[in-house]
Structure 1
């Protein structure tokens, strides 16, 4: 019976950590894309507003709308920067989790190769034993 990989439990834990980090990274990237899309929509909406002022009250309203829009764009810029930082942090966590898992995966691959080599060696020894026994029996049977 083949010897089990001694670090199988730890390997599974590392793989779960890697999958969790990948999920967090995907969520952070989705939030980052969403913030960028919100910025693009806000800028497009601002470009579509007509700039024709017919009287003073319209001009004051346009100035107030632009000031409000400038504040909104600043908030969206801050949100986008925050989302970028979160995505970068999630990428770093994923990279670290992947590094920890890869080392154990390589050990497991090496272990499996060793187990297969041992099984093949044992099988070859059994075949050699059978062949040697048959040869000796044939030789003893020929002399008798």
Structure 2
């Protein structure tokens, strides 16, 4: 039996793909978390802002600020939804890459176990031959 696993190159490729997918997943999760944090901070800042209008110009300024803030929150919500979708897609990609790598890793483990067993059988055969030859020499004398 050949010591070298014949699919070792493919296994390395699959493991590299898995590592790249893992990196992509970490980046997507980081973006999603960052956007959720920014959205929460913006909502908290808006909740803390209380304005009292003394005249109509102040009232218009407060209304414009709130409209701008709502627009910003809507944009953050859309970005967060997009980031969550990207994170989900990255999770699916990582899961698929992991599935492909695991199958080859199992094959490699079976190959290694079969190779070890064949080496043990060969060693046992050599030991049996030595013992048999020793017995025949002693029986002949």
Aligned to 2:108: 108
For each residue in 1:74-103, what CA deviation from the matched residue of structure 2 results, as whole angstroms up to 9, or x when unmatched? 000000001001101101110110111011
Distance across 2 between alignment mates of 1:9 and 1:2: 15
Gaps of 5+ in 1: none
Instruction: Name the residue aligned to 1:138.
Output: 138
What's the TM-score, normalizing by structure 2?
A: 0.96
Q: Does 1:121 align with 2:112?
A: no
Count of aligned pairs: 141
- Give how far 1:51 is off: 3.1
CA shift, 1:3, in A, is 2.3
RMSD: 1.1
1:62 equivalent in structure 2: 62
- How much has 1:2 moved relative to structure 2? 4.8
Q: For each residue in 1:5-54, what CA deviation from the matched residue of structure 2 results, as whole angstroms up to 9, or x when unmatched?
A: 00000000000000000000000000000100110111111111123222
- Output one character per residue of 1:108-133: Cα deviation in whole Å (capped at 9) or x when no partner: 00000000000000000011111111
Q: 1:61, 1:108 → 2: CA distance?
A: 69
Q: Which residue of 2 aligns with 1:6?
A: 6
- The answer for unaligned runs of 5 or more in structure 2 is none
Q: Does 1:97 align with 2:97?
A: yes
Matched, 1:26 2:22: no
